[in-house]
Structure 1
Amino acid sequence: MLNVLNNLSRKLSAQALAALLLASAAASAYSAPKTVLVLGDSLSAEYGLARGAGWVALAEQKIKDQKLDATVVNASVSGETTSGGRSRLPALLQKYKPALVVIELGANDGLRGLPVAAAETNLREMANAAAKADARVMLIGMRMPPNYGRDYADKFYAMYGTLSKEIKAPLVPFMLDGIADQPQMFQPDRLHPLATAHPTILANIWPVLQKSIKAK
């Protein structure tokens, strides 16, 4: 009788161990999707567009179509500056715990003629905050019209390239490439692209975004 009980005990222990190992393997095989946090201004916030027509929503759909392991949180706000983004980012990092932060900011700084050095400092501090939260950063750059002089516009554009090298972040040099000189692609304010322009915007952004999502 004792031998039977011992054998039964060993059998149950083996079954329990097998179940535990299977559960552990299943847990290891499953991982929550990465969160991609987009921190931008009206160009990413669907200003003047129907919901779902902007490049961020189009990117989210493409991520689903390609079955990439990521979800998107669009925290963009119309009118946002680099200073505003810097102020909001810590709470967003704490709330969403993103693996990747896409920063599309600076256009409003430029349109207001704010110092390029100040925008660069704000972007750098956002990158530092993301790094401390174990999140990678991707930058989206912008060109300014020469309203404030060619020197300002050139320094503003070059700032993104310089900073991306410094912080080792992938960069989309100019999200409006291919449409900036096409007035028919913009809303009446001549600042915000129409919905028909956003697939082109996504085409400019997607190669860098896709690679950033896939990066370990």
Structure 2
Amino acid sequence: MAQRLFLLSIVVCLITAGIAGTPEEAKGGAKIMPLREDSVILAFGDSLTYGTGAPKDKSYPSLLQRELKLKVINAGVPGELISEGALRLPGLLEEYMPSLVLICHGGNDILRGRADELIEKDLAAMAEMVKATPADLVIIGVPRPGLGLVVPDFYERVAERYEALYEGQILRKVLSRPELKSDLIHPNAKGYQLMAKALAQLIKSSQW
């Protein structure tokens, strides 16, 4: 009888531990695997990733590398459309085999007035590519230019669908402050620094 009670207590402890370890229960959001010293992060996107508006060493990937003390690849291409990015991404995933991918894309499509559902389709295709690898994913929401700087809902929808981390506020906050911008649609060095700090905090707080 005592042995049976002991075994039952172990089962209860294991079940309790499993519930506590569930990401949604513990943190209320997506989680990522712990990053190691040799982990590679792929920062993928357009001019916002490339660092237009600031010196190259002040782009958000460069600053994020300093924040995390991990290798961060800057895979930003100014002027790129998201459909073009979807064609470029597979080669980079194969080349670098990253542990974490950050996608900040779609801004040029928004500027051109492309339909949200088409941008969402390409963003989802890229998220699916990342999720087909061992890498975790962060999606960064890009706001529409103009008054209000609203981030389209599809960024968060895709993040939820593919269980990715989501940062939907930092670019909106940076681009709403003139002192943090180099022009209407790009941060300056100070803006990219705030972007890197926000992403570093998100990544650190969301590891298992």
Find the counterpart in structure 2 of residue 167 from structure 1: 162
Q: Secondary structure at the match of 2:57?
A: coil
The CA RMSD over aligned residues, in Å, is 2.2
Equivalent pairs counted in the alignment come to 173
Name the aligned partner's letter for residue 202 of structure 1. A
Q: Which of these two proteins has the greater Rg computed from alpha carbons?
A: 1
TM-score norm. by structure 2 comes to 0.75
TM-aligned CA deviation for residue 56 of structure 1? 1.2
The secondary structure found in structure 2 opposite 1:36 is strand
1:53 maps to which residue? 58
Residues 68, 200 of structure 2: 8 Å contact kept: no
Cα deviation, 1:72-129, whole Å, max 9, x if unaligned, reads 1111111122111100011111111111111010111111111111111111111111
Letter in 1 for 2:50: A
Partner of 2:40: 35
Deviation at 1:174, TM superposition (A): 2.8
Distance 2:146 2:172 in 1: 16
Deviation at 1:32, TM superposition (A): 6.8
1:197 and 2:191 equivalent?
Answer: yes
Deviations 1:141-198 (CA, angstroms, capped at 9, x unpaired): 0110358xx9xx86x61111111111111100133243322223222x3221111222
Q: Provide the C-alpha distance between the structure 2 equivalents of 1:130 and 1:201, rounded to a whole number of angstroms.
A: 22
Alignment deviations for residues 50-83 of structure 1 (CA, whole Å, 9 cap, x no partner): 121122111101112xxxxx42111111112211
CA contact (8 A) 1:55 1:198 kept: yes
TM value normalised by structure 1: 0.72
- Which consecutive residues of structure 1, in runs of 5 or more, have no partner in the other structure? 1-30, 65-69
After superposing on structure 2, the runs of 4+ consecutive aligned residues of structure 1 that deviate more than 4 Å are: none
Answer whether contact 1:54 1:195 (CA < 8 A) is retained: yes
SS where residue 86 of structure 2 aligns?
helix
Structure 2 gaps of 5+ residues are: 1-35
Alignment correspondent of 1:104? 104
Map of 1:76 onto structure 2: 76
3-state DSSP of counterpart to 1:103: strand
- SS across alignment from 2:187: coil
Q: Percent identity?
A: 28
* 1:130 alignment counterpart: 130
In the alignment, the residues of structure 2 paired with residue 107 and residue 120 of structure 1 have an alpha-carbon distance, to the nearest angstrom, of 12
Q: Structure 2 CA distance, aligned partners of 1:62 and 1:109?
A: 30
Distance 1:186 1:136, change over 3 A: same
Residue-by-residue CA offset, 1:28-67 (whole Å, 9 max, x unaligned): xxx7711111101111112132121122111101112xxx
> Does the 8 Å contact 2:138/2:164 carry over to 1?
yes
